[in-house]
Amino acid sequence: MRRIYLDNNATTPLAPEVFEAMKPYLLEDYGNASSIHWYGQQAKAAVERAREQVARLINARPSEVVFTSGGTESDNAAIVGIVEATRSTAKHVVTASIEHHAVLNTCQALEKRGVSVTYVRVGASGVVDPDDVRRALRPETVLISVMHANNELGTLQPLEEIGRLAREYDVYFHTDAVQSVGKVSVDVEKLGVDLLTLSAHKLHGPKGVGALYIRRGTALRPLLYGGHHERDRRPGTENTAGIAGLGKAAELARADLEGEGRRVSALRDRFEAGVLRAVPLCTVNGDPARRLPTTSNIRFEYIEGEGFVIAMDLRGIACSTGAACSSGSLEPSHVLSAIGLKHEQARASIRFSLGRYSTAEDIDATLEVLPAVVEQLRSLSPRYKTAGIRV
């Protein structure tokens, strides 16, 4: 069976060039980057090369890039690190209700330690209003953490405006840019962020490696205790192969960011137009304009998302009901609830996410089977039948 992967927001396939860049550090150049002999120096050179490649992708200085085990660790390190480095007794954090759990659960853990947190709400657009962020600020606010692109809807947040607010009120600003780095232009200067999280496996790099951008001069209490790696900012022997892979993935993404963005958004638009034409009673969730080029979240009234994902999988097509880490949960996605969807609307919503290896053939083959899958699921729905809908 031909398989089609439309779940690139969960993770992306490793680029072959990335695999080649990693291989030497798994085989012959296996040294520890802290060792002073030849083996160590090979590893150290690979780590420093990757630091430059990542820095170039986000317009940072290499010294501002710290390698971590991925997006979750970077989010934790940024938020806890800023809060713990601040001396004042009353501390307040502003974040958004649509953040990934790596941010939300970190904030909730801080609340248990006495830190107060404001979760700014969003409307149906799935975009944070900077005025709401301004209204949430207090004299004791130490950090604003607002994601760049939402992982479920793909909606892009107004970081430049929030960055200006952070400067005006002299508050640190972190963004979880896991879903946007490598897909749209990410420039730490333009966005005005002090800390930025990224993860290799969302840009055709390996899993289990990421980075945290820390603006020069930002005081951060490290999350872990250990050796003096990463200039005392993140202890632990460097994952040389993973880091080399992240560097190569960053270089590849930067080489054709605009062209690839145009190509994928054209495919995404072709997909959406095809679905909306062929399937009645469906709606695109979130702001259709302020979005990643890769993501489409569509609500098919009167279907059960899990059933849809399974039916599509049986036909070789991989898509998702929302964040991969929340799949299997019976609760509707917090993001879809946050944009005002009712329980059954949230459960009827499907995320399709494209990537570098998505093709027009993939889209057309998906469009060939999708309407019949929706129709079949609806024919089994008592609510659909009692609604007496004829289209």
* Site residues for ligand PLP per CB under 6 A: 70-72, 75, 100, 102, 147, 151, 176, 178-179, 199, 210
d(CA 13, CA 261): 17
Q: What is the DSSP string of 211-265?
A: EEEE-TT-----SS--SSHHHHTS-S---HHHHHHHHHHHHHHHHTHHHHHHHHH
Is 170 strand, coil or helix? coil
Q: Which of 107, 282, 319, 325 is catalytic?
A: 325
Measured distance CA(271)–CA(6) in Å, rounded? 11
Rounded CA-CA distance 172/142 in Å is 6
Q: For ligand PLP, which residue has the nearest CB?
A: 71
What does residue 155 show for φ and ψ, rounded to 5 degrees? -65, 135
Nearest distance in Å: CB 16, ligand PLP: 21
Shortest CB 377 distance to ligand PLP, Å? 26
The answer for residues whose C-beta is within 8 angstroms of residue 121's C-beta and 6 or more apart is: 96, 97, 132, 338
Nearer to ligand PLP, 31 or 182 (CB): 182
Place of tokens 């680029």: 15
Residue 33 or 98 with smaller CB distance to ligand PLP: 98
Closest to ligand PLP by CB, 183 vs 356, is 183
Residue 168 Cβ vs ligand PLP, minimum distance, rounded to whole Å? 26
Q: Specify the residue, 208 or 235, whose C-beta has the smaller distance to ligand PLP.
A: 208
**Is 325 an annotated catalytic residue?**
yes
Count of alpha carbons within 13 angstroms of residue 55, beta-carbon side:
16
Cα distance between residue 294 and residue 5, in whole Å: 12
Beta strand 172-176 pairing with 210-214: unpaired
CB atoms within 10 A of CB 231: 9
Other C-beta atoms closer than 10 Å to the C-beta of 329 total 12
What is d(CA 109, CA 102) in angstroms, rounded to the nearest whole number? Answer: 11
Closest contact distance (angstroms) between CB of 200 and ligand PLP is 8
* Euclidean distance between CA atoms 149 and 196, whole angstroms: 12
Least spacing, CB of residue 113 vs ligand PLP, in Å: 22
Closest distance of CB 23 from ligand PLP, Å: 22
Residue 68 one-letter amino acid = T
Angle formed by the axes of helices 71-85 and 101-112, nearest 10°: 30
CB nearer to ligand PLP: give 70 or 163.
Answer: 70
**Nearer to ligand PLP among residue 99 and residue 260 (C-beta):** 99
The amino acid occupying position 223 is L
> Known catalytic residues?
325
